Chains A and B, each alone.
Chain A
Amino acid sequence: MTEGGAPPRTWQTCTIAGIVRQTPTIKSYFLRLAEPFVHVAGQHVDVRLTAPDGYVAMRSYSIASAPDPSGIIELAIERLADGEVSPFFHDIAVEGDEIELRGPLGGHFLWPDPAIAPILLIGAGSGVAPLMAMIRQRRARAQTVPTALLLSSRTRDEVLFADELLSTEAADPHFHLALAITREAPERASDFARRIDGAMVAAVVARLSGRPAHVFVCGSNGFANVATDGALAAGLAGASIKTERYGG
């Protein structure tokens, strides 16, 4: 993890190779890198937009795609009504536009290597993005490490990557998906119809064949606190719990 002698991560220009609407508020942006890199699932990039007057806006986005040599990464960007960068992506950016970014960044919220002991993933809304990169990396490498994802969303329509998650679960006896749908009744008996709480975290932990050795939580600060308190109450070690919280 130490990069003492490593060169700095430099800015590069990438090209929007595709845009896909995923939910009413989230679109995926497929970016073709000028200088391709292979990230570790869980890492992010910094994106920088520059206005004609020189004003610069920078934001961090988790990479949602699995690490691969394609030279294309996927970012899932939610349109925030009071945002500055996400409305640009949703309302203005089109295929072929050039965007500056640098990465991959972050040396903490990383899919373990090797991945052997059970893993619990907990996310809310677009917070599933780095967890999706992990699930995709696991699938791409045909890993069988028992993995459960607890994903909270207001409605079924707003579940990011829903079809892919459902088909992954159907195809893989070692992958468990639990949706927490807060504003409507869920379709599946294995899902929950309420906000996340400690009992829910304990119930999802129990679906794994063994005690999770790694817990990854991504969402708002309030969500992350409930999720981590639930994981601690379920007897999981504090040092095994990593969080990514939205901020600023």
Chain B
Amino acid sequence: MVTRGFTGRGSGGDQSGRIPPGQHLVDHFPVLTAGPTPRVEPEDWKFTLKVGPRPVKVWNWAEFNALPMTSMTKDIHCVTAWSKLDTRWEGVTVDDLLADAGLDRPTEFMLAHCYDGYSTNVPLADLASGKAMVALKYEGRPLPRDHGGPARLLVPHLYFWKSAKWVNGLQFTERDEAGFWELRGYHIRGDPWREQRYTND
């Protein structure tokens, strides 16, 4: 339905098909968080990889930083309808994490866990093969606290609530277990190109 009198800012323009439907471009980096912003110091930071309830490997900050570092420049898309192009990240790919822990594919699903109690589910297929990382740097600098520092998950091809801030663990699960927002009305997978915003979109 055409809205009477609405023409838009015309800023959509031709972005070579990089803006998913219903999204608009922003230059700044909005911060959306469901509760208080946690304060986690690198010296207290730990990252745990689990298979089901069983911890397989724990890294501290120094150990994690000694893992192979990968850079990615990606477009990101928030379900609140903003998109930001060419964001530059550095961190450890999920492939490198699993390799360091000596794990292959114990199950096909993962849950990311965070210092603030947040969680989000992502199938392994959306994390492996260089698709996702635990990011430690944004635009060449340590990740700011507001954006999830010291570390956040980065799954740039899904809506950004999947890129969990203040991440402190990944857990293999037998089934696709809904996380925080997925239990509160948001889509189980969250593909921005299919506009999977809310439950059953």
Contacts and interface: CB of A to CB of B under 8 A. Distances in A.
A158 interface: no
Chain B contact residues: over half helix, strand or loop, or mixed?
Answer: loop
Interface residues on A, range: 35 or more
A3 B183 CA distance: 7
Nearest to B31: A221
B194 interface: no
Contacts of A46: 81, 197
A51 interface: yes
B12 A55 contact: yes
A1 B184 CA distance: 6
B24 interface: yes
Contacts, number: 129
A23 interface: no
Interface string B1-29: 11111111111100000000111101000
A126 B184 CA distance: 24
A55 B14 CA distance: 12
Contacts of B7: 51-52
Given A50-B6, A228-B37, A245 B32 contact: yes
B82 A88 contact: no
Interface string A1-12: 111101111000
Given A107-B184, A247-B82, A88 B31 contact: no
Interface in A82-102: 84, 88, 92-93, 97-100
B35 A248 contact: no
A108 interface: yes
Interface stretch (A24-32, A180-188, A204-212, A236-244): A236-244
Contacts of B23: 58
A168 interface: no
A48 interface: yes
Contacts of B3: 49-51, 88, 97-100
B6 A7 contact: no
Interface of B: 1-12, 21-24, 26, 30-37, 78, 80-82, 116-117, 146, 178, 181, 183-185, 197-201
Given A7-B200, A84-B11, 6 more contacts: A50-B6, A55-B12, A58-B23, A108-B34, A243-B36, A245-B33
Interface of A: 1-4, 6-9, 13, 46, 48-53, 55-60, 84, 88, 92-93, 97-100, 105-109, 221, 224-225, 228-229, 231-232, 238-239, 241-243, 245-248
17 contacts: A2-B178, A4-B199, A8-B201, A50-B2, A58-B22, A58-B23, A60-B81, A84-B24, A92-B4, A105-B198, A108-B34, A108-B181, A221-B33, A221-B146, A225-B37, A228-B35, A248-B26
